[in-house]
């Protein structure tokens, strides 16, 4: 199935992700948008579940807000620095599979510089980004995002057959029609020949007798 996976932090951009999800679902269908991993069963490896969900998608949106890196307390690690961080696992899964990753900037965020990201996520900074900001241009941003995703989420039209194949089909059709015409003419000829033989096979004597019986007898004089 062709669908988009939306990667985000709840405490960073959940408000705008719902707007994005609603807009894309209206454009491409509800089943085309995957936003949550709350359905991960207890006791399973969430990394495997995320990898499987990402693998089923055609494109991943990395929604980046003001707190996307997961700001850490003084001297602590940021959430993005943890190998078990959900957002990191999602983006790494897409990058490792060469799935298109689109940074979507919300709030006042910008694409982070490469030196602020783990090595496995550095390719993200070179992906063409878009923005969905609140304000008078929000609708325009959403429409631009949908247009950009259309090649990934709409089934491509089947290309027309090559010209050589078209010519071959045309020749075959003419051959079939010519064969049917020849059969039809042959049937007519055989029917005509059969009718002729049937007529010539009639007994001449029988024909003469029939002619005599059909001739009226001459009238007797005096009657």
Does the residue 53 lie in any domain? Answer: yes
Highest mean pLDDT among 46-60, 93-107, 149-163, 200-214: 93-107
For range 136-152, the mean pLDDT = 95
Give the pLDDT score at 40: 75
Whether 29 and 54 map to the same domain: the answer is yes
Whether 10 and 42 map to the same domain: the answer is yes
Give the pLDDT score at 176: 76
pTM of the model: 0.67
Does the residue 136 lie in any domain? Answer: yes
Distance CA 61, CA 48 (A): 19
Whether 92 and 141 map to the same domain: the answer is yes
Q: Which domain holds residue 89?
A: 4-153
pLDDT band for 172, please (50, 70, 90 cuts): confident
Say if residues 124 and 80 touch (Cβ distance below 8 Å). Answer: no
Whether 50 and 120 map to the same domain: the answer is yes
pLDDT at residue 215 above 50? Answer: yes
How would you classify residue 187: left for phi > 0, otherwise alpha for psi between -120 and 50, otherwise beta?
A: alpha
Residue 55: both structure tokens together: 């693998």
Rg (CA), the chain: 41
Whether 171 and 88 map to the same domain: the answer is no
Give the pLDDT score at 223: 44
Does the residue 183 lie in any domain? Answer: yes
Whether 71 and 55 map to the same domain: the answer is yes
Looking at the 3D structure of the chain, how many domains does it have? 2
């Amino acid at each position: 199935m062709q669908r988009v996976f939306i990667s985000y932090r709840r405490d960073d951009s959940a408000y705008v992700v719902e707007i994005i999800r609603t807009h894309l679902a209206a454009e491409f269908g509800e089943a085309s948008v995957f936003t949550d991993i709350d359905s991960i069963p207890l006791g399973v490896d969430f990394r495997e579940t995320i990898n499987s969900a990402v693998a089923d998608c055609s494109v991943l949106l990395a929604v980046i807000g003001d707190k996307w890196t997961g700001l850490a307390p003084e001297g602590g690690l940021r959430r993005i620095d943890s190998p078990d961080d959900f957002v990191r696992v999602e983006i790494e899964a897409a990058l490792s599979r060469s799935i298109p990753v689109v940074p979507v900037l919300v709030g006042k965020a910008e694409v982070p510089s490469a030196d602020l990201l783990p090595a496995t996520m550095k390719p993200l900074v070179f992906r063409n980004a878009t923005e969905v900001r609140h304000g008078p241009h929000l609708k325009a941003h959403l429409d631009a995002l949908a247009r950009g995703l259309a090649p990934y989420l709409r089934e491509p039209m089947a290309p027309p057959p090559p010209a050589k194949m078209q010519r071959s089909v045309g020749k075959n059709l003419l051959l079939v029609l010519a064969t049917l015409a020849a059969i039809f003419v042959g049937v007519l000829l055989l029917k005509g020949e059969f009718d002729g033989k049937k007529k010539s096979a009639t007994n001449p004597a029988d024909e003469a007798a029939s002619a005599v019986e059909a001739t009226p007898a001459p009238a007797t004089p005096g009657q």
